[in-house]
Structure formats: C-alpha cells, structure tokens
Structure 1
Amino acid sequence: MTHSLERLQKVIAQSGVTSRRKAEKLIVDGKVKVNDKTVTELGSKVSLHDNIDVNGVRLEKEEPVYYILYKPRGVISSVQDDKDRKVVTDYLGEIPERIYPIGRLDYDTSGILLLTNDGEFANLLMHPRYGIDKVYVAKIKGIPDKRELNTLRKGVRSEGDLLKIIRYKILETDRQKNSMILEMTLHEGKNKHIRRMMDVLGYPVSKLKRERYGLLTLKGMQPGDYRRLTPHEVKKMRLSARDEIVD
C-alpha cells in the first residue's frame, strides 16, 4: 500500500489475507467494512489511513515487501515447523513485516525462493496460467535417451497427478559415473514435482536446485543469502506474467 488511494480488493490481497478474486467475493458478500461501514461496491478506493475489517478481523497496515532467498538444502519452506526444523524465515533476520514464501521448495531442494506479504503478487507468480518460468537444474542417476526425455513434456502420471515440464536441456552427460545433469523449466510445480517425475521414468534425482524464477537469478548469492527485490524487479515480474492485472 502507498499513501495514495488504492482499490479495496487490491489492499486486501496485498495484506496476504487472500487473493484479489476472493477479496472481490468477500466485498460483494458484505464481509468487508471500511471505517466500520460495510462496503459492497467493487472498485471502492481506500487510503492507508482507513480501517479495514475482513470477516470481523482488522487488517494490519503493512507496506508490501519482496525478498529473494537462496534457500539451502535441509530447510523447510515455511514460517514455522512443528518438528523444530530450520525454516526459511530463520535466514531473514529481524524483518518487521509478516512475510511468507511464494510457493515452496522441497526440504532437500535448494535455490531461489521468493517471500512477500503481498498476497496478490504471490498469487500472480504461483498460478500456472500466468506462465512464469521456474528453471531447475537436476542431477539424475542414469542416462535417459531423448525419447524418454520427450515424455516429460507430454507428462507422466504419479499418484493421480499429471506431471510435466515445458522444456528441457541436457547440460552434461557422464557415462563413466552413469549420470546426467538436466535443466528443466516448469510453469506449475506440484509437491516434489521433478523428483516424482524422474522416479516414474526410473532415473532418481540425486541433487536439485532452482536456478531461476522468471527474470530473477541467484547471481552473486550464496546459500542462506537474501536481499530485497528492487522496485524495478517487482515491476518486471508483474509484467512478465501473461495475464497481468491492470488497475
């Protein structure tokens, strides 16, 4: 939020409470109050000084923030863990805003993870229909042929899910060690997507890293490093989505 007027549904989404689409439904259903008055008209605008209640709960007023973390292996993509394991927010120091990860990386997967308190931005990047590239590099056991690799673009079934990639590139083949390093691009990532996919083909993943998220890379970063995204990067990430929401 800024000090200028913003659409009510956008402010609700940016608070992290819900997506913009669900925020619109809450408004229409009479579940939203501004300064103790129920607002049901979409497009209503509010300022930073207005008090907003959603389902009887007051929104906390936070400026939207955006971070990139080089997540190490052996870390949970969450803000807390009931088994007392290390979580991604442990690496971000004393940040006053309540941020949360955009999507997730598996416990044993390293690489780019984005964190924010902007629910609308998170929804924009996570939804597969927006077409944001997520690029992974995987070291696998065994050497599949091109026919098998092409199967990944068509998709394979695992536990009722259709798992597929957009494209792949062979980075290295080591016949002596019977291994291959593959670059794979996804738009949608289900739980353990790449690992499950390669298990179906019989080529288990021994190491996995997310190298790129849209235009963002890990350049100059080491595992555990984090930084704030620049306003230019945030804008470019929004524009790179196919169905950019325009105010």
Structure 2
Amino acid sequence: MRGDFEEFDVEANATGSRGGRCQNFRLKLNLRRLQASSLPPPSPTSGPRTFMIPRRLDKFIADCTGLPRREIHRRLQHDAVRIERPAPWESPHPWPETLIYADDRVFFEQELLQPRPPSSYFMHHKPMGVVSTTSSPSGAPCLGPTLDALPAGTFPVGRLDRDTTGLMLMTDDGDLAHLLLHPKFHIEKEYILRIPGPLHPDDPRIARALEGIELNDGPARALRARVVASGDDHSLLGLVVDEGRKHLVRRMARALDLRLQHLHRARMGELTLGELARGETRALSEVEIAALWRAVGGHERVMRRRLGALFRIARDRRAEERPDLRLEHYLEDAGQTIADSINLSTT
C-alpha cells in the first residue's frame, strides 16, 4: 500500500477502436475513498457482495444456484442461459467468462436468477475415519451427509486427513474460503499430537520444532509449542503452524521422531471447538465470522482482488484491440466512488 492507493500493475498502451487513437490505460484503486463513500458496508454475514462487482457468468450462476461449475458449463452448452442487458449495452452470448453486472438479468432454465449473499458459516467437528470430501467412490464415510443437511452450496474449507479429527469450517462464501486457504495470509492452526510416554517441556524435539526442520518440500517450523499433558502412558503436545502443506504436521512429527498416535486440530485463527462433540456441526456467530474476516485482512482485500482482476481484463482486451467498453464504463463510474483515477486519456 502506498499512501491511499493500491496501485495494480495494469498500465498498457494499445491501439484502441475509438478513432484508431492510442489509449493510455492506467488504473488505480483508492481504498480510503471506498471506505468513506456512500456504499453500504458489508455485514459480517453478507461479505463484500453488498456492492456487486462484476463477476464471471459461471461464478454468478454458482453463487445463485449452488451448482458445481462443471454442471453449469454443461448447461451453458445446451442454451440454458439467457442474458438481458439495459440499453445501450448489447446482450452478450452466455460464455462462462462473460461478465455479469448489477443491472443485468440472467435467466437460467427460463427462471430469473437472484444473487444471494453468502449466509452459511459452520464449524464441524470431524470424527476419525471420515474423508474430507463430498463423496467417496470407495464407500468410506465422507462429509456428504453432513453437507446435505446444510444450505445448498455449502462446502468444506480445506481438508483434514482421514484419521485426523478436529475443527473444520464449512461455508458458501468462496471469497472467505479462498483467503483462509491462501498461503500468504498465514492463518494459525493449532494441532494436538498424542504421543506415547512422558514428554517434558525441555525435550530437545520441541526446540527443534521451533527452530525449524527440513522436509522434502522445504523447511517447516512450529510458531509455538506447549506440553498440554504428560503421563507415563501418553502425552499431548500442542503445535501451532500457519501453513497448509499436505500432511505437514504428520511429516514434522516423523522428522522429529515423535511417534504419533493421534492428531487433532483444535483451533483455526481465533476459533476453537469448545464443547462441540465429534460429528456435530454448528453455525458460527457473527462475532466468529467477523474474526475470520479480520484474520484475512477484511472485506476490502476481496474488493482489491476483484477490482485488480477487472483492471487487468480491461487492460488486456484493449491491448488486443477489442476493448470492453462496458467494463471500462463500469470502472470509470466506479472510479468516482472507489478510485480517484481510472484515466482513459486520449493521446
């Protein structure tokens, strides 16, 4: 961030179609103006969709219906979708990447689709032996029955190993899920490891976990470690990590010569299971949802990401001499509220 602006690398010089003149296309996003604007702030449960930023048709349909993308693409090939746009914009062919705006009308199987804000935020206590998928061709227990009991479009955020128990999040909010899983945001996760025999706080293996160890895909280390319990039969070790690499904690335990008997995820960010029993699911409170958004930098991070993508689309299409005039018009209009300058200056 420099001053008030988040400046994207979206400057392009290209020959446009407006009289064959060269267009200098430079785009900036003023987040302070966005926060001070008349746009209604997103509520903890509605996410950033209160102010609808154009999105791809297949994403829009998925948000409205909960259908998987593959099924949506199949139906698009069978003329199941019609788009109506206000004048002077011509109604486009319904390609998956077609951008849908707030005043567009999208008909799917002859029914008008209505955007729905994300509203499903759940915590699930995954039992042992359950695979973290919506279905299981092998017949193993999976999350399908749990998800079937939740609102349409709800999906698990990430995975836990089949034999790992503990906290999983489930939501229909793709933006929040993306940020929670993205490695750059370093969401803390605490795991409880059950190992045989006693364990003392000065055990050198704990020090090694904190210093860092080398795995086959790079170094890994625990942010914090604590002995939760120690006994002659077994001990419990808590490790906090902020990565999501596959089998990370299990591989760390193996490298540290910790004979892992059981692995349990006790916390994600500020959220803990509390009294939630294994196999049970509960809705998150607005306070808990807000805590998740804080952990990933807030709603404006989603707006920056979406607008940055739109800026790049507009730049690329103008560079290819097929400018998207509606997108540029949208960005110009949004610039009065969201940015101080989206300049399309003719030279």
TM range (shorter): 0.7 to 0.9
1:125 Cα deviation from its structure 2 partner: 1.0
* Other structure's SS at 2:150 match: coil
The answer as to 2:203 corresponding to 1:158 is: no
CA contact (8 A) 1:106 1:191 kept: no
The answer as to 2:175 corresponding to 1:135 is: no
1:151 Cα deviation from its structure 2 partner: 1.8
Point out where structure 2 has 5 or more consecutive residues left out of the alignment. 1-45, 70-81, 85-90, 304-347
Deviations 1:189-212 (A, max 9, x none): 222211111111211210111111
Work out the CA distance in 1 between the residues paired with 2:294 and 2:53. 19
Work out the CA distance in 1 between the residues paired with 2:287 and 2:204. 41
- Equivalent residue for 1:117, pick from 155, 172, 183: 172
* Percentage of matched positions with identical amino acids: 25
Aligned partner of 2:52 in structure 1 is 6
CA contact (8 A) 2:196 2:259 kept: yes
1:73 Cα deviation from its structure 2 partner: 0.7
Work out the CA distance in 1 between the residues paired with 2:188 and 2:207. 18
Higher helix share goes to which structure? 2
RMSD: 3.4
Aligned partner of 2:121 in structure 1 is 66
Deviations 1:111-136 (A, max 9, x none): 11001122111011112322321111
Aligned partner of 1:102 in structure 2 is 157
CA contact (8 A) 1:5 1:45 kept: no
1:101 Cα deviation from its structure 2 partner: 1.1
1:165 Cα deviation from its structure 2 partner: 1.8
CA contact (8 A) 1:130 1:243 kept: no
Work out the CA distance in 2 between the residues paired with 1:89 and 1:77. 9
1:45 Cα deviation from its structure 2 partner: 5.0
1:230 Cα deviation from its structure 2 partner: 2.5
Do the aligned partners of residues 4 and 34 (structure 1) sit closer, same or farther apart at CA in structure 2, a change above 3 Å counting? farther
Work out the CA distance in 2 between the residues paired with 1:130 and 1:198. 24
Work out the CA distance in 2 between the residues paired with 1:77 and 1:184. 22
CA contact (8 A) 2:125 2:166 kept: yes
Counterpart of 1:81, as a letter, is S
Question: Could you say which structure has the larger radius of gyration?
Answer: 2
Counterpart of 1:46, as a letter, is A
Do the aligned partners of residues 34 and 4 (structure 1) sit closer, same or farther apart at CA in structure 2, a change above 3 Å counting? farther
Aligned partner of 2:243 in structure 1 is 188
Work out the CA distance in 2 between the residues paired with 1:61 and 1:242. 25
Work out the CA distance in 1 between the residues paired with 2:195 and 2:114. 46
Aligned length: 222
Work out the CA distance in 2 between the residues paired with 1:243 and 1:4. 14
Aligned partner of 1:29 in structure 2 is none
Aligned partner of 2:322 in structure 1 is none
Work out the CA distance in 2 between the residues paired with 1:52 and 1:71. 38
Counterpart of 2:263, as a letter, is L
Work out the CA distance in 2 between the residues paired with 1:94 and 1:193. 31
* Other structure's SS at 1:46 match: coil
Point out where structure 1 has 5 or more consecutive residues left out of the alignment. 19-32, 54-58
Work out the CA distance in 1 between the residues paired with 2:105 and 2:270. 35
- Equivalent residue for 2:282, pick from 227, 239, 244: 227
Work out the CA distance in 1 between the residues paired with 2:166 and 2:272. 9
Work out the CA distance in 1 between the residues paired with 2:298 and 2:260. 33
Deviations 1:9-60 (A, max 9, x none): 4994994989xxxxxxxxxxxxxx9744389xxx98526x74399xxxxx99
Aligned partner of 2:225 in structure 1 is 168
TM-score by length of 1: 0.75
TM-score by length of 2: 0.55
